[in-house]
Structure 1
Amino acid sequence: MKKLLILFFLYAGDVFAQTDSLQTKQFTISGNVETESVITLDSLQQYHVKAIGDLNITDHTGKFKHRDNMVRGVLLKDILSHTKFKADSPKLLSRIYFVCTAADGYSVVYSWNELYNTAVGDHVFIITGKNKVKAADMPESIQMASTSDYKTGRRYIHNLVSIDVRQIK
């Protein structure tokens, strides 16, 4: 009986430790845009995929967390190139920012100027593969990273679900 009780608690702990997968297969671009769009893992293949190389992921203090090898991805601004923003004049583009949100609610922000008017925009990627694994086969499938950030983990998103285009007043 004692062995059976121990087995029950071991099994019950295993069951309660499991969580639903948050794996995403697509994300939306919505908000201050003319037309909402949905980007799927399949549609990412139509863009130019770049070899990013190896990427050290650090926490907010700069402490090493892990390393992603052979990272490949699509520039966020390439994906956004098909998006028409609601802005009556080019001056209003400077008021636009992007809230990128993961399935668990974690969000990061980029400004229009940051993506289109600085070198940062050349280093913000939707990851299509890493560690010899394609995005569709990763448990955290749609990932986003700013590879030029000093503390890379701060804007590293797992399971991206949306990019909300907003404008400050």
Structure 2
Amino acid sequence: MSIGFVAQAWAQQNKSISVTGEINSEIVLDWELISAHEVEEIGDFSITNHLGEPRGVLQSAKGVPITILLKDLVFNTPSPKQLSEFYFVFEAEDGYKVVFSWNELFNNPLGDKVYLVTFANGKPMEEMEDSILVISKTDIRTGRRHVKNLVKIHVKRVP
């Protein structure tokens, strides 16, 4: 890898996430806000493809559960009964997208294991090549919802 490539990758590194859509008001999660929350030990985390084949490992990872960062969202609905109609589209800078339902995140133990990674492989988030990284620790095929360089979370509602 040449020095020019490293400089180019660093310059394109994302530093914040916009949360938009079917919520009362847009919020922005930046490194400072994310880092202000208490982090949890994730440990070593294996990344596998859709066939379950190894693709990499995050070593000594730490992170903030996404539910902590999204807990104060006010959804555009008059009734909590309708929360089951909401879902979240996590979008990376390169356009890669993954989906979590409101129930997966806020009504299921899975939600407590979806992390924004703040430290991995000996580096803090600001120095990680993947920048703002989301993982779902309970997934079987972990690479399917492994989002590198997260830039947006779209809050949507089933029509």
TM-score by length of 2: 0.92
Structure 1 residue ranges, 4+ long, deviating more than 3 angstroms after superposition: 17-20
Deviations 1:129-168 (A, max 9, x none): 1011001011221000001100000000100000000000
The separation in 1 between residues aligned to 2:53 and 2:6, in whole angstroms, is 28
The 5 Å alignment of 1:92-103 reads 92-103=82-93
For the pair 1:156 / 2:146, whether they are aligned, the reply is yes
Residue 83 of structure 1: how far off its partner (Å)? 1.4
Give the corresponding residue for 1:125: 115
Q: Which one of 137, 141, 147 corresponds to residue 137 of structure 2?
A: 147
Give the corresponding residue for 2:69: 79
Residue 126 of structure 1: how far off its partner (Å)? 0.5
Q: SS of 1:84's equivalent?
A: coil
Aligned length: 156
The separation in 2 between residues aligned to 1:132 and 1:164, in whole angstroms, is 31
The separation in 2 between residues aligned to 1:45 and 1:143, in whole angstroms, is 13
Residue 82 of structure 1: how far off its partner (Å)? 2.1
The 5 Å alignment of 1:1-169 reads 20-21=8-9, 22-169=12-159
TM-score by length of 1: 0.87
Higher alpha-carbon Rg: 1
Q: Percent identity?
A: 36
Query: Which sections of structure 1, spanning at least 5 residues, go unmatched?
Result: 1-13
Deviations 1:86-132 (A, max 9, x none): 11101110000000000000000000001111111011000001011
